[in-house]
């Protein structure tokens, strides 16, 4: 730890209690939360969605929405100054100057109609004064500090012109521009690829050493916690259930919940020496499922997808080649993991093989080539292949009941009568670990993990042979993710499903896959069995992806540790 909380805490939170204001009265969302933050320390608030992590950070910043949340009791002291008693004008002076915050999604945190320079200069001019020339010089120094190339040019650009990793670097530069005493980072890397995440975490450690800023890092990723934390505070249901040094929390956790969080993290190397995913059903453990057929469920040859190409009076305008010559096969009962960074072509490939976007090349599902099929001829093929998307809430119509959403594909394809469909819905809900009585409820009444189970039930309603899962667990908490992955493995074992499993998370790909295709720049740069790709990767790019995965063990930190 980089400080002594017994002598001079920079920030101390004591008995913080927050209520949510609902139609049915007050509901407690934070219950007597207490912790201290020492000078130069990184304290990680860890826990699942709904545990109270973000409410705690917003309380410190005094950014709770007044109409729905209020601080009932407790104190938040920055040094000797209690922030809970400050008026809004005084808090505006504190925010940015003394306490700054980095949010999860940099694109929504930056103003899309303002240049990067204008947004960087604003807090400097407000909190430090001076003229625009000096503020500009400070902004350039901060962009250089966060290792953004060509900082002068970046000041003239808009957020949409930068990558996700660069936008997050801009947010870090903005947060540190006034040298705050406390930096709050709320899931700052969740939306980033694993290699970009590693770069951002490394940068945050280096900047902590350079600026001496105390940091509260909020995350549900225990691998990130192990990489970054001096101390860890584990939260559950609005309470602080365990707090201690990172080593103590990971090596000697006292609470069952903490042990479950750590155990649920997929670990690179956990499947070393095996040829596929772990068996999760008793039947599969006794006798693994044999392949249903020698014929591939999905065959892809020389797949190409071009964005932006169009015809004009002067000929055809060339577009951007998003997928360039991709080929692979996938058989029943097997999973092909498609992995790579954002922009590598993974999701585009997944949409193309289902005929959802125009493509060139050969794609066949269960022996039926898609290219020349009419809309009518395509309908029976669509029954064979379904898709599960990343965001389970956006995938479901908020105005439809769960039962109607699951039954809709059967209705479209004219399968069964109302009674048959109701029976099938009840069967599918049981299959994914829910009870049939929830069929009359709406999506907002379910947690993220439950909604993804509902999306899986909907995908299964037509008894498909192939499921394309596009980042299907990326938005889920680590323990919920583990349960959903186990459910998918169970369904594969019992139904013989073939999965095209798309992800940027190498640890999840290792757990789920029989074979792995690594994509970069629209091409497959490495392809082989799970064992070959993970235990003996041939490409430097593959090795970098594997090396960038955070290890949930503080004793094995592999980022540069400074400060």
Q: Please say whether the beta carbons of 388 and 460 come within 8 A.
A: no
Spell out the alpha helix ranges (H) of 29-131. 53-60, 88-94, 106-109, 116-128
Which pLDDT value is given to residue 144? Answer: 86
Which pLDDT value is given to residue 509? Answer: 93
Which pLDDT value is given to residue 348? Answer: 92
Q: Please say whether the beta carbons of 201 and 228 come within 8 A.
A: yes
Which pLDDT value is given to residue 292? Answer: 47
Question: Cα–Cα distance between 561 and 563 in angstroms, integer?
Answer: 7
Question: Cα–Cα distance between 538 and 258 in angstroms, integer?
Answer: 37
Spell out the alpha helix ranges (H) of 63-156. 88-94, 106-109, 116-128, 132-145, 151-156
Phi, psi of 305 (to 5 degrees): -130, 130
**pLDDT tens, the chain, 563 aa long:** 444 445 679 999 999 999 988 878 888 999 999 999 999 999 999 988 778 898 999 999 999 988 889 999 999 999 999 999 899 999 988 998 899 998 877 667 788 899 999 999 998 888 887 788 998 998 998 888 888 888 999 999 998 888 777 888 888 888 888 888 999 998 888 767 788 888 888 888 888 888 888 999 998 788 889 889 999 999 999 999 999 999 999 999 999 999 988 888 878 888 888 888 887 776 666 655 444 456 899 999 999 999 876 555 555 555 678 899 999 999 999 999 999 988 789 989 999 999 999 999 999 999 999 988 888 888 888 899 999 987 777 889 989 999 999 999 999 999 999 999 999 999 999 988 889 999 999 988 887 778 888 999 999 999 999 999 998 887 777 778 888 898 899 999 998 999 999 988 888 899 999 999 999 989 999 999 999 999 999 999 999 999 888 888 887 765 434 33
Question: Cα–Cα distance between 14 and 122 in angstroms, integer?
Answer: 33
425 burial level (CB within 10 Å; 0-12, 13-18, 19+): buried
CATH class of 1-98+181-265: alpha beta
Task: Judge if 1-98+181-265 and 295-308+320-384+464-473+489-547 fold alike in CATH terms.
Answer: yes
> Where do the structural domains in the chain lie, given as residue ranges?
1-98+181-265, 110-179, 295-308+320-384+464-473+489-547, 395-462
Spell out the alpha helix ranges (H) of 365-524. 375-382, 402-412, 418-431, 448-460, 478-495, 506-512
Spell out the alpha helix ranges (H) of 461-538. 478-495, 506-512, 530-535
Which pLDDT value is given to residue 2? Answer: 47
Please report which helix (H) or strand (E) contains residue 166, including its range: helix 164-176
Query: And the tokens for 427?
Result: 């069967």
295-308+320-384+464-473+489-547 architecture in CATH? Answer: 3-Layer(aba) Sandwich (3.40)
Which pLDDT value is given to residue 66? Answer: 84
Question: Cα–Cα distance between 216 and 180 in angstroms, integer?
Answer: 12
Q: pTM for this one?
A: 0.78
């Amino acid at each position: 730890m980089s400080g002594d909380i017994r002598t001079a805490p920079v920030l101390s939170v004591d008995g913080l209690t927050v209520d949510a204001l609902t139609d049915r009265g007050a509901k407690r969302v934070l219950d007597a939360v207490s912790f201290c933050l020492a000078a130069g320390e990184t304290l990680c608030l860890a826990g699942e969605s709904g545990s109270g992590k973000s409410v705690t950070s917003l309380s410190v910043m005094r950014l709770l929405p007044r109409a729905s949340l209020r601080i009932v009791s407790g104190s938040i002291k920055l040094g000797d100054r209690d922030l809970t008693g400050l008026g809004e004008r005084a808090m505006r002076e504190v925010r940015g100057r003394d306490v700054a915050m980095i949010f999860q999604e940099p694109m929504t945190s930056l103003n899309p109609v303002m240049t990067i320079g204008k947004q960087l200069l604003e807090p400097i001019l407000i909190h430090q004064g001076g003229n625009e020339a000096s503020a500009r010089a400070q902004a350039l120094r901060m962009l250089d500090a966060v290792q953004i190339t060509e900082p002068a040019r970046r000041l003239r650009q808009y957020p949409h012109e930068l990558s996700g990793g660069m936008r997050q670097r801009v947010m870090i530069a903005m947060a540190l521009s006034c040298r705050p005493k406390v930096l709050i980072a709320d899931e700052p890397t969740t939306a980033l690829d694993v290699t970009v995440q590693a770069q951002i975490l490394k940068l945050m450690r280096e900047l902590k050493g350079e600026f001496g800023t105390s940091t509260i890092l909020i995350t549900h990723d225990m691998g990130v916690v192990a990489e970054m934390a001096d101390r860890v505070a584990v939260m559950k249901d609005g309470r602080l259930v365990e707090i201690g040094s990172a080593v103590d929390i990971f090596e000697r956790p006292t609470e069952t919940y903490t042990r479950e969080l750590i155990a649920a993290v997929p670990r690179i190397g956990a499947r070393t020496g095996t040829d596929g995913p772990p068996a999760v059903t008793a039947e599969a453990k006794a006798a693994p499922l044999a392949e249903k057929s020698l014929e591939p469920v999905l065959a892809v040859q020389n797949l190409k997808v071009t964005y932006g190409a169009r015809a004009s009076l002067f000929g055809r305008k060339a577009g951007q080649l998003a997928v360039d010559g991709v080929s692979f096969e996938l058989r029943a009962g097997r999973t092909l993991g498609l992995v790579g960074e954002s922009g590598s072509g993974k999701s585009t490939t997944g949409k193309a093989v289902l005929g959802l976007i125009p493509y060139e090349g050969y794609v066949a599902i269960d022996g039926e080539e898609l290219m020349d099929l009419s809309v009518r001829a395509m309908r029976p093929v669509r029954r064979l292949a379904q898709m599960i998307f990343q965001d389970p809430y956006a995938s479901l119509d908020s105005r439809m009941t769960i039962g109607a959403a699951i039954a809709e594909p059967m209705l479209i394809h004219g399968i069964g009568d109302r009674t048959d469909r109701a029976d099938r819905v009840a069967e599918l809900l049981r299959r994914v670990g829910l009870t049939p009585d929830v069929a009359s409820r709406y999506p907002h009444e379910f947690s993220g993990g439950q909604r993804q189970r509902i999306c899986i039930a909907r995908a299964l309603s037509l008894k498909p042979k192939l499921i394309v899962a596009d980042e299907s667990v990326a938005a889920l908490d680590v323990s919920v993710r583990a349960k959903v992955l186990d459910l998918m493995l169970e369904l594969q074992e019992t139904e013989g499903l073939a999965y095209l499993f798309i992800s940027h998370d190498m640890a999840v790909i290792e757990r789920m896959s029989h074979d792995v295709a690594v994509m970069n720049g629209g091409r497959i740069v490495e392809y082989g069995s799970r064992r070959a790709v993970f235990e003996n990767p041939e490409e430097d790019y593959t090795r970098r992806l594997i090396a960038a995965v955070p290890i949930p063990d503080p004793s094995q930190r592999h980022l540069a540790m400074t400060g």
